Structure 1
């Protein structure tokens, strides 16, 4: 669809990655004279999986690998367009994902490696994803293990644009510019893991507490934990060793952060009803 109009039905899914990429490059070329925002959400590697004839059957990982290799090509096209238009040094590019692997899809669902569980869960395998930020000449190459999330992109973009935060609303994110451009440390802050409208877990630093757990797909109801489970993700990224009994002070700190958070939340009207 384009602007609400159907341009092809049924869609030729083998061409989606290529078509999206062509549209993205065209958008950059058309908008290059002024500041612009491009949100580029690929269909793949969500199932059902497809790749164009240029990539199908070319990887060692079947159709999943083919689709990922075509995504790699797509990213290259976008970065190449920014370079050729002289925009690379003043454009922040963010590459990330919305969730972990869809494990029930087997070889086409992806992998979280040593992280526990996958998409749909609040275990690390469901929530932790790669985050890559690129801005030549501004962001020095390197790796950071500081905790950030997509909620941080809004205040970061506003800061780079010299715009003020909106008044009268609570913004959950943090400006990442000091991390990106100065390699400074972010202040410690709690991260809250929701499943639907229920708060399942909370993380501060490398400590993570689970109040409820549920596999991504399968279990009908979540399992509540009293006392909650506590894991040190630096020493136990697979969340296998519950160390709550040995660390009551850490558990109490995170529980207090959750109480403060829940007291400040004003539920919005559901947009799904």
Structure 2
């Protein structure tokens, strides 16, 4: 049975609400018609396991990233930008939904080829929202929010998907290199839900994904579009094409990052050739911090403590660059707290889409924070929670971070002590109590408001 065109009532209802707002305000838009070009295109580029200290513009001395460095000099560089989880799947769920992973049921860790859950098709995603506003939408690269057809991008608001459904190490070929001879799964390269290849040549993956992204941009240059480009690297195993192999002073890891930088440059060049760079917002970030146990095959968190899988700053504070010559101020550094959670409501603002009171979000609209050149606006994000596998392990409020370390609570001023070296809990016990109460109250609240994760069994039952 082909379920490609199975629709879910609640998602359609939510989209209807969003569309009705547009109709009421005179913004009538048909998905098949040309979009009002006063609203910008969006490109969100996500690296995988890239650390805070892995780009030249964030202080890396050996990895050459001229295109990203130029983006930073011509746009806004964020220094306190957080992802909502220190591992893949929950982090990506938060980006797509504007919600903490626990709210959408994808908080327990990464999905594997044997997993039977995924992003619930009833959730309103960033792609759903923009598609309802007339945008063409594409996901190119790594998805990792469920590999069954019901959970893939084309069931979650994207018109087109080309890429891999989970991490690039989840294949028999790669696991055999690490001694797991009995690993039975292969890595599929998908177009939509169709398998094009099994275990594709990963040395060519970055270039193939870049070609697909550029093709999508060229095809839709006269319409509004949203491109989500999620690179599978520098997650291990590390690969680069012949043009980049052995070229970086940082070894195989640097080769992979430098090819990603090349890819970013190709996309920027394409926008300029088409004359749409002034009407396109490009954002670059990473899903979580570097995988430090892999040493030279892992990245660098720079001055930050910890890395992937931890709720120290190095696991969840990421590089973020926003670039758009016609929309975003040039050469600015934003030191305010912000997050991938904020992307959905902020893109909604740029696209003139109103989502207020229609869905429960944890993200904040940071439009004013981005656009105010002197940064007289404070971040609307008054606090941020650090969680791993659904357990809240810390909270950030202003300069203060309370961190649960085993059975104790530690307090850091992360603006003065970016490396989290100096525990101030004994000096400021009232601050510890205040922040701990925030953790306890929020955890209770989100438990009550959790929405169900997508489950194959429940979707199957709904069809009968």
Q: TM-score, length-normalised on structure 1?
A: 0.90
1:173 correspondence with 2:392: no
Distance 2:224 2:239 in 1: 33
Contact 1:158 1:164 in 2 (8 A): yes
Contact 2:364 2:381 in 1 (8 A): no
1:150 to 340, 347, 354: 340
Q: Tell me if the contact between 1:203 and 1:209 (Cα under 8 Å) persists in the aligned partners.
A: yes
How many residue pairs get matched? 261
Q: C-alpha distance in 2, partners of 1:166/1:30? A: 32
2:299 counterpart (110, 132, 136)? 110
- What is the Cα deviation at residue 247 of structure 1? 1.3
Name the CA distance, whole Å, in 1 between partners of 2:252 and 2:328. 34
Indicate yes or no: 2:195 matched with 1:14: no
Structure 2 length-normalised TM: 0.54
How has the CA–CA distance of structure 1 residues 188 and 157 changed in structure 2, closer, same or farther, with 3 Å as cutoff? closer
Q: Is the 8 A contact 1:188 1:205 kept in 2?
A: no
Alignment match, 1:257? 438
Q: Which consecutive residues of structure 2, in runs of 5 or more, have no partner in the other structure?
A: 1-189, 457-464
Residues 8-157 of structure 1 mapped to structure 2, 5 A cutoff = 8-140=197-329, 141-157=331-347
CA distance in 2 between partners of 1:171 and 1:268 (Å): 12
Superposition RMSD in Å: 1.6
Displacement after TM superposition at 1:263 (Å): 4.0
CA distance in 2: counterparts of 1:259 and 1:28, whole angstroms: 45
5+ residue gaps, structure 1: 214-222
Greater fraction strand: 2
2:426 is aligned with 1:245: yes
Secondary structure at the counterpart of residue 225 of structure 2: coil
Q: Relative to structure 2, which stretch is displaced further, 254-263 or 42-51?
A: 254-263
Flag the structure with more relative contact order, 1 or 2, with Cα contacts below 8 A and sequence separation at least 6: 2
Kept in 1: contact 2:364–2:380 (CA 8 A) = no
Query: Equivalents in 1 of 2:235, 2:258: separation in Å?
Result: 14
**Aligned equivalents of 1:272 and 1:259: distance in 2?**
28
Alignment match, 1:233: 414
Q: What stretches of structure 1 move > 4 A for 4+ residues in a row?
A: none
Match of 2:395 in 1: 202
* Partners of 2:223 and 2:192 in 1: CA distance: 22
Q: Distance in 1 between matches of 2:344 and 2:381?
A: 19
CA 1:6–1:232: 2 relative to 1, 3 Å? same
